[in-house]
Structure 1
Amino acid sequence: MDKIKIIVVDDHPMVIAGMAAMLLQIPYVVLSATAGNAFIALEKVREQAPDLVITDINMPEINGIEFTAKLKKEFPGVKVIGMSTFNERSYIAQMIHSGAEGFLVKSASKEEIEKAINSVLDGKMYLSLDVNLNTQERKDLKNQPMLTRREKEVLLLIADGLTSPQIAEKLFISLNTVDSHRKNLLAKFEVTNTALLVRSAIKSGLL
């Protein structure tokens, strides 16, 4: 069985050391690299081609939210788990909107880290047990559709009132591709028309 390759990103060496110690206890995981900021992290991802990146949210210059968006744009297949000492809904929602598949608080146990890794690699969203959300907020976040970068672009242009031909022209893609993205968006939000799509996206915090 191939080992799961992970990169850890945090500007505090003690946090990286602690996370490395936890990951070493999981036999099917290998810590491919560590990075102290987003710039180094992107270079490490290009070099190592990891399966998963675990990143701090509160970093200088480029924070974890911006880093996740950049990472997902260049490497959409790499899974991301955000981590922070804070567990406010706004942090979590922004990470999820940027493309992260999970969120951990830094005090998470080895067992929870392992559970989070397995969940996101199985295509599920993972939210830390210590996240300060009520049942409905947790449900809303977990049920939020996972959109590709292109789907997000199309969704924003739909919300701006552009027609499919206008979207095709603006994004330099074919009309068939736009229609395909529209159908995927309707299916992911489980709605039947554009008005309901926009309303659902607003409710989910994606617009």
Structure 2
Amino acid sequence: MNRKISLAIVDDHPIVVQGLQMILTNNSDINVTGCFTSGSDFIEFLKNNEVDIVLLDIMLPDSNGMDVCKEIKSVSPNTCVLALSNHSERSIVMQMLQNGASGYLLKNVSVQELTNCIYEALNGEVAFSKAVKEILARPSANDLKGIPQLTKREKEVLQLIAEGKTTALMAKHLFVSPLTIETHRRNLLQKFEVKNVASLIKIAADQGLLKSIG
């Protein structure tokens, strides 16, 4: 790039922001154009300013980074989002990627890794820190089980369960009886080998079986 890379930082911990600023200021290719402690403040800034890449924390006081990531890509599709987090759950990494992130780094990342990942993301690659690559390389228990075979109707019910719909609303939406919905719900719990709806939704999300909600 002939001009400097425009980079923003979104994190509600001042010491993290200051540390990142100090590190990146030493890079002659990068211009830190703004630091924000909330997702909404950054979105407002983004509407009127060009940002090439943003380092985005997952946990923010006003929202979660997954939703913010989705909104960033909606407002500015060309802005690369690099998640920078302490959260190492495989499902969160995958959700960020599904919402448009260009990579995921843990906060124990080295300066060199951070810089490399910024350039990789700007070159159109998916960038991971070494620790995240190791997490993704390890198959989860859900991966080893394989994805259950679901009927079209079971997939519809699963999606509605994830959206928080009641049995009565699901029955009305699908033009079936509440008893039929309860049967599908029971079959889903058996197929996924779980005892409650919370576990059902988590595994289904991990396996990419749910459409994005919201």
Give TM-score, length-normalised by structure 1: 0.65
- 1:11 Cα deviation (Å)? 0.8
Mark the runs of 5 or more structure 2 residues left unpaired by the alignment: 140-154, 157-205
* Aligned position for 1:25: 26
- 1:48 Cα deviation (Å)? 2.5
- Deviation readout 1:40-72 (Å, 9 max, x if unpaired): 111222232110111100112211110011111
1:117 match: secondary structure: helix
2:77 match: secondary structure: coil
**Bigger Cα Rg:** 2
CA contact (8 A) 1:97 1:206 kept: no
CA RMSD of aligned residues (A): 2.3
* Aligned position for 2:63: 62
The separation in 1 between residues aligned to 2:138 and 2:109, in whole angstroms, is 22
Give TM-score, length-normalised by structure 2: 0.63
CA contact (8 A) 2:8 2:32 kept: yes
| Pairing of 1:51-130 with structure 2 (within 5 A) | 51-130=52-131
- 1:88 Cα deviation (Å)? 1.4
| Pairing of 1:1-207 with structure 2 (within 5 A) | 1-131=2-132, 132-135=134-137, 204=208, 207=211
| Residues 110 and 88 of structure 1: CA distance in aligned 2, closer, same or farther (over 3 Å) | same
CA contact (8 A) 2:40 2:62 kept: no
Identity percentage of aligned residues: 28
CA contact (8 A) 1:58 1:64 kept: yes
| Residues 33 and 128 of structure 1: CA distance in aligned 2, closer, same or farther (over 3 Å) | same
| Residues 106 and 134 of structure 1: CA distance in aligned 2, closer, same or farther (over 3 Å) | closer
* Aligned position for 2:166: none
The separation in 2 between residues aligned to 1:71 and 1:107, in whole angstroms, is 25
